[in-house]
Amino acid sequence: MITLQEQVEVVFDDLKQSLFENKRTKFRTDFFELHPFDQGRFFSDLDPDDRRKVYEYLTPVELSDAFDELEDEPIEIAEFLDEMQPRYAARLLSAMFADNEADILGVVHADKLEELLNYMNPVDSSRVRQLLKYKDETAGALMTTEFISVSSGMTVGLAMAQVKREAQQAETISYIYVTKEDQKLDGVISVKDLIVNSDDTLIESFMNSNVISVNVNEDQEEIAEQIRDYNFVALPVVNDNEQIKGIVTVDDIIDVIDEESAEDYSKLAGINTEETTNNPWIAVRNRLPWLIILLFLGMLSAALISHFEGVLSKVSVLAIFISLITGTAGNAGTQSLAVAIRRIATSDEEHALWKLILNEIVTGLLIGALTGTTVFLIVLIWQKNLVLGSVVGLAMAGAIFVANLAGSLIPIGMEKIGVDPAVASGPFISTLSDLTSILIYFNIASLCLKMFGFGG
């Protein structure tokens, strides 16, 4: 049985063949049978020459739906605009949803931006300029201005007529926002509310006045949490005067969640999440600072080992187990770090974080004890030395416990002082664990050397 994806790929092949054979009518027919998401996928995979044919075969408005669904980075989508005539590009952007339009124009060069805005009608141009003023990763930058609002003094009949007129241009009609004369947000209703109430009923008599909204300057992570917690399809965005300026929809929040997850993952790896370029020099600039910091931390580890050179000279077999202890502790710390950052991202409750710390203390003790016992038995059988086995086992248990605790406490502490906890990257925690592991290992070894004189 042929899958949906296979069916779409067949259509893609037919569309490319139509472009190659200059079959305009067939191309248009097949293209419009695709979902806009698949239209966007097809378009972005074309080479520049084929895309120029698409611009000839489709009007800007017809292509705008595909552009609304493009998953490429805005800077990559902006490059498509350079292939178009400015008037064509401006009309395409005007037909897109405002939030997507602003995302693309936000990365366009200033000269190109002015040229495109000059080709737009004054209303669209003014709207875009306003959206571009908002700070990145805030509600204002994320919101769309295509929403439906009605006056609280309207009747159901008048409100329904307005919804019918504006529904085509709205990004969603799941919620209809009720405003006062000064555009202050007063309530919210649904299409179902309009259907079940009689035409002469006043909106204010049944609207929900308990409206949850966000300020235009609210951080996108906070918005994502609210939409997740309340299961909203959209969230109204208001200014400092409580006037509604736009809405943030759930599809944009899904993109935000993906972006934030990618950002946290990148920070855990100690790299820059914004690195989307193929330029190796830019990649070096983004990655080198973290590597230099870790290099100096690594040199501290080397200095510590040098400090205990006397112990190593007496019991050289200790050197065999340095990487074993530091590596295992680093892995444990990274695991704890990942759990802590995940818990911070999904819970704002103070008691949940304290519970996390308690859990990590118990987990560190148990893992440390079990791992330490295991390595003690291995070293005892291998080296046939009870004291050496005890040193390595105790050091392993202590190093894992400390690394586990650091992996949870450091990101929690950073979050408390207002620093992104994801900055406590895996490489940083791992290198820090090396330092503590070496300290624990050689201090235990020095103590045992004085007490038992093992190793001769």
CA–CA distance, 191 with 156 (Å, rounded to integer): 10
Which SS3 state, helix, strand or coil, does residue 247 take?
strand
Tell me which residue has tokens 């895309």: 51
For residue 408, the 8-state DSSP code is H
Identify whether the C-beta of residue 455 lies closer than 8 Å to the C-beta of residue 410: no
Q: What is the pLDDT of residues 346-395, one digit of tens each?
A: 665 666 677 878 888 898 899 999 999 999 999 899 988 888 889 999 99
pLDDT value at position 218? 94
Domains of the chain listed by start with CATH number: 4-133 (1.25.60.10), 149-249 (3.10.580.10), 280-452 (1.10.357.20)
| Rounded CA separation 171/185 (Å) | 19
Distance CA 220, CA 228 (A): 12
**How sure is the predictor about 456, in pLDDT bands with cuts at 50, 70 and 90?**
very low
User: For residues 53 and 24, is the Cβ–Cβ distance under 8 A?
Assistant: no
Give the range among 31-35, 120-124, 131-135, 353-357 with minimum mean pLDDT. 353-357
Give the CA-trace dihedral at 363, 368, 370, 376, to 10 degrees: 180
- Going by C-alpha positions, the residue among 254, 255, 234 that lies closest to residue 246 is 234
Cα–Cα distance for residue pair 161/163, rounded to 1 Å: 5
**Cβ contact 54:19 at 8 Å:** yes
**pTM score of the predicted model:** 0.62
Tokens representing 273 are 């999440």
CA distance 210 to 207: 9
| Residue range 150-187, pLDDT digits in tens | 999 999 999 999 999 999 889 889 899 999 988 999 99
| Structure-block tokens of residue 99 | 């939030």
The distance in angstroms from the start CA to the end CA of the chain is 74
Question: What is the maximum alpha-carbon separation in the chain?
Answer: 99
How far is Cα 80 from Cα 89, in angstroms, rounded to an integer? 9
Q: Which of 132, 155, 150, 151 is nearest to 142 (CA)?
A: 132
Q: Which residues contact 359 (CB under 8 A, 6 or more apart)?
A: none
Structure letter (DSSP) for residue 205: G
Residue 86 has pLDDT above 50, yes or no: yes
